[in-house]
Structures are given as structure tokens and as C-alpha cells.
Amino acid sequence: MAVALSSLLLAAALGGLLLLAGQYLALRGHLRGASRPPLPGPPRPSGEGAPVVSVLKPLCGADDDLAANLDTFAALDYPDYEVLLGVRSPRDPACAVARAAMARHPGRFRLCLQRGEPGMNPKVNQLLTLARVARGELLVVSDSNVQVHPDYLAEIAVLLRDPAVGLVTHPIVGVGEERLGSVLDGLQLAGGVAPGVVAAKRLAGHDIVVGKSMAFRRSDLDALGGFAAVKDVLAEDFVLGRMVPAVLGKRVAVARRPVRNVSQRRSVADFFSRYQRWSVLQRALAGPALHAAQGLLNPTLLATGAAALAPCPRTLGALAAVAAARALHDEGCARLLRGRGYGLAAAAAPVKDLVLGAAWAHGLFAREVVWRGNRLRVLPGSRLEPARPRRLGRAAPAARAA
């Protein structure tokens, strides 16, 4: 029985490698513009008649290299735009960094203090305030740990000139890694998240919107109910991406140039904690059956299981081959996305897969997440409710009395 199950896991691992190969080819075709229809209008907007853009950037804490991240938004190749920096409290460490950016670039940034907490999603609560004071016709949501290329807004504006497009999102690539957790994060963004988003769109016609970067016309967002429509869901980006075709009858466009996610000093524990939360989220969105099936995209985990069930030269050799193939896949995707790979650090890809496997297993059973200090229960569709207080043990009455 163990040998048969081991063989089945190895066959599934091979199938997973084939799926990853398809994702790599889809990503390469997307970034190179293969078979892509021409964009409407000129390649980038001129100053005259270009829509005003408001970049909405919620801040929470001093992210890695936050000052440099903000500086990449100070001189974008676009005629009329503003960057709104949102903070929940003046005591947030990000507030001082935001004020310094305003001093370095007068007139480019505005600091906005969050007004009220109407929903369960803390990021959306900030976006509600930012959208209310924004002056732009186009609204661009950009996370605080993101850096962008100078033509970032120009490409968005060109894509949104097509009236059939209701939302623009971007592939993501990690940069800045100094610690192992950040290396693992970058390998997953390059080898898992970015090719997964692109392949889902190009090969299956499914939209996966990652909120690191998403852009709308204000009129389209209003027709969806504004950010208030997603104030009580955890995956506001994914849900908005589903609403665009369902409510507006429009499509999601994936921009060609990736945005850069800066992660320098993340520990392995930080990496695991983040993907634990994502796993609970993915199960709530996809359902238990599809979430379980996502294990096929982790061939290292499958091959490890095969070797553990029936350790022998055949299974151990297969595990080594699968691990090497996964490292080559992640390295190749990173070179496509950021122009350089991870070199010897790509050998950590199998470690990344095993950590992700533990996070995936957590998502099979867990229903709660801790996000920005709040413990929340995640319901189907990623709707949120406060987690129920955990029952205290017998010592609890004495602890309360103390």
C-alpha cells in the first residue's frame, strides 16, 4: 500500500511540474507581449486631456525601505497625478516617513488621517478615507512596500482607455532580499504568484487580482458600490476582481511590466505566518475541494511525501530531481520578471515549498487569522467577523481577579 501511494504521489508531482512549465510559458509570453492585441490609442498619454490619477497608498508601520518606496512615486512619467498617503493614527511610525517624503517632494504627496472604522478590513477602512478626498478620475491602489517603474501610471492610463477594461492589475516580483525569509518570499512571488496570476488569465480566462497594485476609473468603482462594498471581506482585491465582470460586464487587464515588492529582512517565521493567513483566505475563496487540489502546484511536497512513504534510491532520486526542477523554474521566472535571478539562493526553493506546504495544510482546517493585531474569523467568500473569544482554562477566574 505504501509503495502504491508513493508511486501515486510521484505521478502527481510530475503533473505539478507540467503545470508549472505551463505557467512559465504563459508568463514569458505575457512579458514579451506575444499574441497580445494592440493597445488602444497612443503608447502613453499626452499631457493634454490625460485623466488625473490619484494613487491611494495605505500605510501601516515602517515597511522595509519605505522612504525609497515612496520616492519611486515622486517623479513618474505622467502629467497630472497625486499620491495620497493614508495612516490610521499620527502615532504610526509610517507617519514620520510620510512627512519626510512630503518635505523632499513638495506638492507631490498628501498625508491623510483615517476617518472612522466602518468595516472589518483595516486596509479598506483607509481606502475609504483616501478615495473620499482624492481628486483623480482614475484611482490606483498601491501598497506601501511597492516600488514602480516611471511609466507605471502611463501604462495604466492607456489600458483604461479601453472602455471594456474595468480594472488593471500587475504581476509582482520581489526585490531587496537580505534574510532567508525575504529570499523565500521573493521566490514565491516570482515562481508562484506572478506566473499563477498570468496563467490563470491567459490559459483559463480566470481573473486573480492581487491588491499590491490595482486601478479603476472612479465611475466604475462607484458603480460597484465603492470600497464600502468590500469593507467586511479579507480579500478585497480578489472580490473586486470578480465583481468587475459580474456587475459591470467589463474585464480585468494584467499590465505587462511588474511592480516590485520590497522585502529585505523578513524571517522564515514571518514568511510562514503570512502564507498561513493566505492559505485560510484561499480556502475561504476557493472552497475546501479546490484548496486541497492546489497541493498539485507543490510538487516538492508531493515528492517528499513519496520519499517518506517508501524511502529508496528511486524515490529519493525523484525527490532530488523534482527539487532541482522547482529551483530552476523559480530562477527562470525571476529572470523574466526582474532581469536577474537568485543564483545559488534559488536552491532554497524546495525549502520554500515545504514551508508553503505546512501553511497549505493549516488552511485545510483553520478558519481564523490575525491581521494587524486583530483576530478575525474568515467565512466563505472571505467575509469577516470578529473571532469568538477562546474559552479560558480553570485558572482563568484567578487571572481575571488579579
pLDDT, tens digit, for every residue of 98-154?
A: 999 999 999 999 999 999 889 999 999 999 999 999 999 999 999 999 999 999 999
Mean pLDDT taken over the chain = 90
For 138, the grid coordinates are 482614475
The domain 26-262 is placed in CATH, from the list 3.30.70.3340, 3.40.640.10, 3.90.550.10, 3.40.50.970, at 3.90.550.10
pTM assigned to the model: 0.88
Dist. CA 370–CA 368, nearest whole Å? 7
CB 82 within 8 A of CB 56: no
Inform me whether the pLDDT recorded for 38 exceeds 60. Answer: no
The predicted model gives 27-45 an average pLDDT of 61
For 102, the grid coordinates are 512630503
pLDDT at 36: 44
In this structure, what are the phi and psi dihedrals at residue 130, rounded to the nearest 5 degrees? -65, -45
At 360 the three-state DSSP class reads helix
Catalytic residue ranges: 237
pLDDT at 368: 87
Inform me whether the pLDDT recorded for 33 exceeds 90. Answer: no
Q: What is the pLDDT of residues 257-314, one digit of tens each?
A: 999 999 999 999 999 999 999 999 888 888 888 888 888 889 999 999 999 999 999 9
Give the pLDDT band of residue 398 (cuts 50, 70, 90): very low
Residues contacting 357, CB < 8 A, separation 6+? 295, 298, 300, 301, 304
Give the pLDDT band of residue 384 (cuts 50, 70, 90): confident
Q: Name the residue with higher pLDDT: 205 or 310.
A: 310
pLDDT at 395: 43
Inform me whether the pLDDT recorded for 48 exceeds 80. Answer: no
B/e letters for 202-228, b = 16+ CB within 10 Å, e = fewer, are beeeebbbbbbbbbbbbebbebbebbe
Q: Determine the Cα angle at 85 with ends 83 and 90, to 5°.
A: 155
pLDDT at 370: 80
Give the pLDDT band of residue 369 (cuts 50, 70, 90): confident
pLDDT at 87: 94
Q: The cell 467589463 sits on which residue?
A: 250
At 285 the three-state DSSP class reads helix
Name the percent of the chain in helix, strand, coil, to the closest 5.
55, 15, 30
Q: Which amino acid is located at 77 in the chain?
A: D
Inform me whether the pLDDT recorded for 41 exceeds 70. Answer: no
Least-confidence region, from 72-81, 222-231, 367-376, 378-387: 367-376
pLDDT at 46: 47
Q: The cell 522564515 sits on which residue?
A: 268
For 372, the grid coordinates are 494587524
pLDDT at 47: 53
| Alpha-carbon distances of 66 from 53, 59, 60, 63, 301, rounded to whole Å | 22, 9, 11, 5, 35
Distance, CA of 306 to chain centre:
31
% of residues, the chain, pLDDT over 70: 92
Q: Kindly report the three-state secondary structure assignment for every residue of 200-265.
A: HHHHHCCCCCCCCEEEEEHHHHHHCCCHHHHCCECCHHHHHHHHHHHHHCCEEEECCCCEEEECCC
pLDDT at 34: 41
Least-confidence region, from 27-41, 82-96, 211-225: 27-41
